[in-house]
Structure 1
Amino acid sequence: MKQMIKSLQQTAQNKTWVSFLHQNHPYSLLHWSIGGTESLQKDVWLLQDEMTFETKEFDTIEAAIVFISENMSDITDIL
């Protein structure tokens, strides 16, 4: 599992996003620097459920990775 989390973090850092499966359910971890209709400036990482589009914001990628490793232990694929 540690190798999967490490790979997830490296891919996200290199591409600014990564998609993965947790219990056969798709998620994405992505960096958001500009978004919204008014070009809202942000510097956060989002964990997005790709089925419901619910998101959780993290100030750093490290915080996101800690959350993922503690709450999503069944990652099967990095897409």
Structure 2
Amino acid sequence: PRYQAALKAGSDVRGFAQGLQRAGYATDPGYAAKIAAIAAGPTIERAVAAIGQAGARVGQTFANATGLTGLTRR
């Protein structure tokens, strides 16, 4: 219950950080802004891109090994 507002923010990084700050998680008054700046920065963008590329490689390796070109969800 304490962090409910943060959890309701979903994928909104700033809203999540503000919810944490309001709930008393952070004592730094600039906490939410700092977290939002980090999330929007180039380091995170590079990390997300690298994860995406690695995931694509894993998927392709799996497809090559199994002969599957795609999976169907039932």
Normalising by the residue count of structure 1, what TM-score does the alignment of the two structures yield?
A: 0.29
Between Structure 1 and Structure 2, which shows a larger proportion of helix residues?
2
Normalising by the residue count of structure 2, what TM-score does the alignment of the two structures yield?
A: 0.30
1 or 2 for the larger relative contact order (CA 8 Å, sep ≥6)?
1
Between Structure 1 and Structure 2, which shows a larger proportion of strand residues?
1
